[in-house]
Amino acid sequence: MMAMMTHPQETHALIRKITDYLLGFHKHQAELFPSIDGILMLDDIIGFISEDQFVEFALPCFKELYNCKHSVKFLHNDANCMEMVHFLPEMGVNLFNMGFDVDLNQLKELTQNQVAMLGNIPPRDVLAQGSAAEVKEATLNLIKGLKDPSRVIFSCGGGMPPGVSSENLAIFIETVKRFTL
């Protein structure tokens, strides 16, 4: 990240190499597994740079990476995403998994509800370590707190942690079904 300021040309060259590698990797995966209709990119670093740095260094590459034939164009970033989230539609992202501490209503507004959101129950403290009652309460709070539940896939923010009990998963799924269908 510091190299973006101290060595911008070299940083652009490195990011170009990484982008070219990823484009080739995605192409190779599509050839090996033609039935897979999506890509998933995980990048938390973009949550640690400024909006200007994002626009200069990351946005052009992400636009290239997500300019593909796949139906699902998924990005995971559970770092601070507020500097870049409004660029998701321009990047070509149509599914986003964020950190659990982000307000889905705000994300939906910043993306003009053009991007499906995947989240947003706290993964470790609630889903893995909470009681079934705490999981149900957090799930209900999420559902009831949404101004518009469209384009939300209820899950945990940031990814599934180890140690989640079957009971907690079952109460999460049951609560989502009961209060959203």
DSSP 8-class letter at 44: -
DSSP 8-class letter at 57: I
Question: Rg (Cα) of the chain, in Å, rounded?
Answer: 18
Domain assignment present for 20: no
State the total domains in the chain: 1
Domain assignment present for 8: no
CATH of the domain at 47: 3.20.20.210
pLDDT band at 39 (very low <50, low <70, confident <90, very high): very high
pLDDT of residue 124: 95
Domain assignment present for 105: yes
The single-letter code of the amino acid at 1 is M
Q: Which residues of 56-67 are buried (b: 16+ CB within 10 A; e: fewer)?
A: bbbbebbebbbe
Instruction: Determine the average pLDDT of the residues in 91-109.
Output: 96
Helix (H, G, I), strand (E, B) or coil at 7: coil
Domain assignment present for 18: no
pLDDT band at 43 (very low <50, low <70, confident <90, very high): very high
Going by their DSSP bridges, the two strands 116-121 and 95-98 should be labelled as: parallel
Domain assignment present for 52: yes
At 141-179, the pLDDT tens digits run 999 999 999 999 999 998 899 999 999 999 999 999 999
pLDDT of residue 111: 97
Domain assignment present for 12: no
Closest CA to 26 of 53, 61, 78: 61
pLDDT at 83 > cutoff 90: no
Q: Determine the Cα–Cα distance for residues 181 and 177; give it in Å rounded to an integer.
A: 6
Burial of 154 (0-12, 13-18, 19+ CB in 10 A): buried
Contact criterion met (CB below 8 Å) for 66 and 87 = no
Host domain of residue 138:
37-180
Domain assignment present for 122: yes
Q: Which two tokens stand for residue 45?
A: 């670093």
Domain assignment present for 151: yes
Helix (H, G, I), strand (E, B) or coil at 67: coil
pTM to 2 decimals? 0.93
Q: Determine the Cα–Cα distance for residues 120 and 156; give it in Å rounded to an integer.
A: 5
Q: Determine the Cα–Cα distance for residues 156 and 172; give it in Å rounded to an integer.
A: 10
pLDDT at 181 > cutoff 80: no
